[in-house]
Amino acid sequence: MQQIKMYIDGEWVEASGGTVLDVKNPSNGEVIASIPAGKAEDVDRAVQAAKRAFQDESWRKVKPHERGDILYAIAEKLKSDRDELAKLESMDVGKPLTQGYADVDAAIRYFRFYAGAADKVMGDTIPIEDGLIDYVVREPVGVTAHIIPWNYPIQIISRSVAAAIATGNTVVVKSAEDTPMTANKLAAYFDELKLPNGVFNHVTGLGQDAGAALSAHPLVNHVTFTGSVQTGVAVAKAAMENVVPVTLELGGKSPNIVFADCDVERTVQGVVRAIIQNAGQTCSAGSRLLVESSFKDEFLEKVVEAFKRLEVGQGLDDKDIGPILNEKQFNRVKEFITLARQEAEILVGGKQVTVEGAEKGFYIEPTVIDGVDPNSRLAQEEIFGPVLTVFTFDDTEEALKLANSTDYGLVTGIWTKDISRAHYLSSRIDSGQVFINNYGAGGGVQMPFGGYKRSGFGREKGWIALYNYTQVKNVAVRYD
């Protein structure tokens, strides 16, 4: 069992209270690590260190291209330890090993992308009048807080931390108490680079303790949070007390809209992958299937057959679907399946799975539910498991209405050979990302990602995320 410590102000430290939390492998329930149960005083120490580092000349004098060198060095360390990191991510989250590798590869790409961007964040000049030069610069905001969810830790840490450091900020990461292991490795990489103390800090602990203290800290200048709507609202309220901007990436109930003229085999593969990745524990999972009524029976038959072929097992055994993270989340998924038995029709799945040698893991069969009322909880609330709900439509306008019928708006997939129809829908769907005849576009490191409505606000990934971590200053110079 690994005994993890927090990384604060260039030192590896225990929690001030001395207590620890166990970290379990979701695949089999075994305790694989312990972490310090950080409290408000530990968060304060980390934020104070980050503030000192931001104000210190040794960090301010690091040139933009040198910040790029730092990020590229992190990418190289990730690449060198790719096998170890993929296994850690698989053990920590429970996801199949192949998906662990994909997450590490995405993390490498994030650090490389923002390494290249570090010296390319430009300002502007504004023509005013003769004798006056007016220019705009983008400056770092200061101390950035990064509250990380448990489902994609290495990816989500990498995409926000790399952008923050590229623009000259200092960082405090609060990893999820369930999945801290790759965050700990990232802290070790920053430690090896011998950056000024306090530039990168990693605190651990429960969300209601360390996370709440971090989002409410008066010296934090920007908060990035990924997680549930309920917690996101609490984070935003806490930050607003300090008049601090936030980037929120919250829940989703994302639809795949399937028309009869689609490429059937490609669409089946896309629909299945969109819901089973990480056992459906993905905010952007394609959890709603909207099928043209004339095509429904034919298409559903193929989807159900694909679901029947899926294998469930431990993450390191690299089956199609791993476990649900913990008992609390598992019970939530079961609650929705029980509701489906009462209100709809389960076409396949819906049962708990016992995996030999991993009897303490929380496994569920991938499930397809038909006959769902668009206004029901099954249609409106995140299930966060490998559960696909099915709806039908007769025409494009009905498909549009169904797609927009939830409080969420994160991702939408459109499957049709009619490109005019696809563009029409994409222009009217309330969704931060729209994929036409694909779902995910290879991880989309370069593509802005974020939601409409209760899926959050602000954008991560791509060039636009750099602006989260900068503030605009205008300077006007009179000359004779």
Residue linked to tokens 């750099």: 466
How deeply is 467 buried, as exposed, middle or buried, from its count of CB atoms within 10 A (0-12, 13-18, 19+)?
Answer: middle
The answer to whether the CB of 247 falls within 8 A of the CB of 224 is yes
Return the bridge partners of 435, or none. Answer: 413
Query: What is the distance between the alpha carbons of residues 385 and 405, in angstroms, rounded to a whole number?
Result: 21
Query: What is the distance between the alpha carbons of residues 227 and 217, in angstroms, rounded to a whole number?
Result: 19
Cα-Cα end-to-end distance for the chain: 70
The answer to whether the CB of 254 falls within 8 A of the CB of 408 is yes
Considering only CA atoms, which of 378, 383, 355, 350 is closest in space to residue 365? 350
Write down the catalytic residue from 177, 249, 382, 460.
249
**Position 447, amino acid:** M
Establish whether 11 is a catalytic residue: no
Helices 296-309, 264-276: inter-axial angle, 10-degree rounding = 50
Query: What is the distance between the alpha carbons of residues 237 and 234, in angstroms, rounded to a whole number?
Result: 5
Six token digits for residue 409? 């708006």
Catalytic residue numbers read 249
